[in-house]
Amino acid sequence: MTVRTRVAPSPTGDPHVGTAYMALFCLCMARQHGGQFILRIEDTDAARSTAASEQNILDALRWLGLEWDEGPDKGGPFGPYRQSERLDIYRTYVDQLIEAGHAFHCFCTTERLDAMRAEQMRAGQTARYDGHCSRLPAEEVEARLARGESSVVRMKVPDSGTCTVKDLLRGDIEIDFSQVDMQVLLKSDGNPTYHLAVVVDDHLMEITHIIRGEEWINSAPKHILLYQYFGWPMPALIHMPLLRNPDKSKLSKRKNPTSIRFYERMGFLPEAVLNYLGMLGWSMPDGEEKFDLAAMIAHFDINRISLGAPVFDVEKLKWLNGRWLRESLSDDELAERMISWAYNRDNLMKVIPLVRERVDTFSEVAPLAAFLVEGMPTVTPAQFEFKGLDTEGVIQVLQFALWELEALSDWEREPINQLFVSLAERMGLKIRDVLAPIFVAISGRPVSPPLFDSMALLGPDMCRARLRHALTVLGGVSNKQAKRLEKAYRELSSGPAAS
Ligand code: GLU
């Protein structure tokens, strides 16, 4: 048997460290067995998927050195590798399930479903589709479809009995079918849901080992049933422990930068980031913490994956990066890395137009432009004291700006400018008052090159991280405060939804 693994990110945001973590373990598993590692793009959520996000994910995985054998950009014998290009395939398989009586058309309205769920909750039951449409006579279904009535396709799930999820790491996990919903497989727009697409694709792409996050354990019974309905062999399942914030909650961008590009922008070495991700879920037989990808592949043993909750600790990553920098790179190599990172002509050409009007001598350039290559500027609460805005107001501006910037796809000077003009207007504040805290958060200095140009140059990951850093310096945003801010933000007219 050829071992085939896959990582299947959805291109709906920044390239997440969690995706790289899964990709690393998939790659090690495949390489160690002389098999293949596949990259599949799960973009069936058309409204949220973007080509830019897909490209970012590809670039970020490549930056880390996680090269795939088959994928949307390089093809392969099992393509296409983008789910949006496989819609006809899914429809054929849904038809098969309906014909065999394993799936059915469901015409229930949102109102009926809401009422049903509310009733189930009241009775202390698990909210679960009650099978209403699975009992409709065939002629009625035909007639309603012929009339063009809107419908989805759901899978049948037994009312009773237990599903045994066999996980290579965790052993047998028993889940009662009464806890498993009759999952929608095909949406009313004809697009598949994740659950259908993942099963069809993993089978057709001959995936032998599914390595994914533990948040999918509860979905496994649906997938196992689908494999049974189709009569397909079940791949091995490995549910990896999720990466955590230091407070043990699921790793989130509110508490930790989660975008791989942020770590690139901060000047971390890809080898160190990869080493750190490996270290979070796995250990070398000799206990050495510093290891490269080749060593991890050579010694990889799925049984050495640890099931403890791995905390993503930026300080520890920094420590490891320091070791890589000092122990593994000569002065020459370090210089080369720094040149390709930021200290190069291309970057200088971007900085010069911003500083030439503000300096008289070369020696004044570095102090003025240093924040463009810095990580987090040193800022203090005192720098955020302004006449027009109290601390509460400053926090609101920083948080709202952060949400707005998270939704900004065109990261250029003019759209950034427009964003702030519109935000100030909607908040009923002077643009000057909105920009004052942003200026401090981004540059950390009283004098700096123009704000929007600087932000365009710094890029989204670094700018957002600095705004978050400023919020932390101001005492952080508690969960309660975040809820209040979200509410106030939603009430602002025509802003993008808080994420
Ligand atoms: N698209 C899913 C995700 O991004 C993939 C889950 C899986 O590996 O099955 O989490």
Which positions of the chain have pLDDT values less than 50? 497-499
What distance in angstroms lies between residue 158's CA and the mean position of ligand 1's atoms?
Answer: 25
Q: CA 44 to CA 38: how far, in whole Å?
A: 18
Closest atom, ligand 1, to C-alpha of 194: 1
Mutate to test the pocket of ligand 1, among 42, 43, 251 (most ligand atoms within 8 A of CB): 42
CA–centroid distance, 283 to ligand 1, in Å, is 24
Expressed in angstroms and rounded, the spacing between residue 492 Cα and the centre of ligand 1 is 34
Rounded Cα gap, residues 21 and 475, in angstroms: 31
pLDDT at position 494 is 57
Q: What is the pLDDT of residue 360?
A: 96
- pTM, entire model: 0.91
Q: What pLDDT sits at residue 495?
A: 52
| CB 155 within 8 Å of CB 225 | yes
State in Å: Cα 108 to ligand 1 middle. 28
Rounded to whole angstroms, the Cα distance separating 103 from 156 reads: 5
Q: Which atom of ligand 1 is nearest to the CA of 198?
A: 9
Ligand 1, from 216, 218, 222: best to mutate by most atoms within 8 Å of Cβ? Answer: 216
Q: Which residue has the CA at smallest separation from atom 8 of ligand 1?
A: 212
Ligand 1 mutation pick, 37, 212, 227, max ligand atoms within 8 A of CB: 212
Cβ-proximal residues to 173 (8 Å cutoff; 6+ apart), any chain: 164, 165, 166, 167, 217, 220
| Residue having the nearest C-alpha atom to atom 4 of ligand 1 | 9
Give distance in angstroms: CA of 361 to centre of ligand 1. Answer: 54
CA neighbor of 264 nearest in space, from 17, 452, 431, 433: 17
211 CA closest ligand 1 atom index: 8
Select which of 156, 222, 253, 487 is catalytic: 253
Count CA atoms closer than 13 A to 242's CA, side-chain side.
15
pLDDT of residue 492: 82
Task: Name the packing angle between helices 220-230 and 87-99 (round to 10°).
Answer: 70
Question: Is 253 labeled as catalytic in the residue annotation?
Answer: yes
Could you tell me which residues come within 8 angstroms of residue 7 by beta carbon, excluding any fewer than 6 positions away?
A: 19, 22, 23, 26, 37, 38, 39, 40, 61, 68
Measuring from atom 7 of ligand 1, which residue has the nearest CA?
212
Protein residues with CB under 6 Å of any ligand 1 atom: 8-10, 42, 198, 212, 216
Ligand 1, atom 10, residue with closest C-alpha:
9
CA geometry: angle 445, 447, 450, nearest 5 deg: 105
